[in-house]
Every structure is written in structure tokens, then in C-alpha cells.
Amino acid sequence: MDEQQIVEDQTQELEIKCAEYLAGWKRAMADYENLRKDSAKQIQQAGETGQLRSALQILPLYEHYKLAVGHIPKEQQENDWVQGIMHIKKAFEDFLKSLGIKAIESAGQEFNPELHEAIAEEESALPEGQIVKEVQTGYTMNDKVILPAKVIIAKS
């Protein structure tokens, strides 16, 4: 074998090794990118889970607060302390809105099993399956149902 042939063979071997190393590097970079995306997704899901848990603990408090506000006598609606209570209620609602939490509209709506939980049926002039009364408000968080509305539906 002449010297030129040896150099060509060595060059070819080096080119093959370079291609193998480059392919290995590209695989490692792709694996790293996938890991980075998976980690970001897991962090986001953990944050959403934490928000959901907090929301599920806060919503019953808010519901009780709304009930208490609903029992304030009409003649006391203009009192300063009642106005303060109403400001707290507004702040509560703004906080829930900042978390992406919205109440599910129910009264007078058609029953939707994805949004509502029927707890009873009642004779009504309304068409069968229409919601007669909302017993407990339901909520969505970022357009996902986290607490279905408990409702009474019409029956013929």
C-alpha cells in the first residue's frame, strides 16, 4: 500500500468517526431538549395542581361568605360596615378571577352533565331537563370544571 492510500483510508475512518460523534451529539441534544420540555411541563402541572388544591379549599369559604352577605337586611345595606363587607366580597371575586376561576351559569339553562350535577328532580312548567334551581354554584378554572354545579332539574 502506498502512502496516499494509507492517508485516504485514515481520512475515511476519521470521517466515519466524526459522523458517528455528530449523530451521537445530535441525539444527546434532542434528548436534552425533550428533558427540558418535560421538566417545564411537570413544573407547570405542579403549579396548576397547587392552584387547584388552593381553589378547592377557598371556594367553600367563599360560598359561606356569599351566604352570609345574602342575609344582610335590606335596611342595613347602606351602612359603612356593610359596604366594607361588600368590598371584601369584591376583592374575593377579583382574587378568584385572577386564578382563572369562574362560576358556572346554571339557573334557567339546559342541564349539561359536564357542568352540572343533578341532585333532584322537581315538577315544573319548564321543559324536562331544564334547570329549575341551583343549589350550589359550580366553578371552572381555566375553562376546566373543578366543581360541578349542584342543581335541581325539571321533570314532566
What span, in angstroms and rounded, lies between the C-alpha atoms of 35 and 51? Answer: 24
pLDDT of the chain, 156 residues: tens digit per residue: 688 888 888 999 999 999 999 999 999 999 999 999 999 999 999 988 888 999 999 999 999 999 999 999 999 988 999 999 999 999 999 999 999 999 999 988 999 999 999 999 998 888 888 999 999 999 999 999 999 999 999 987
Residue 97 identity (one-letter amino acid): K
pTM, rounded to two decimals: 0.71
Per DSSP bridges, beta strands 149-155 and 144-147 are: unpaired
Per DSSP bridges, beta strands 139-141 and 131-136 are: unpaired
Ramachandran category for residue 73: left, alpha or beta (phi over 0 → left; psi -120 to 50 → alpha): beta
User: Could you say which architecture CATH assigns to the domain 100-156?
Assistant: Roll (2.30)
**What are the domain boundaries of the chain?**
1-99, 100-156
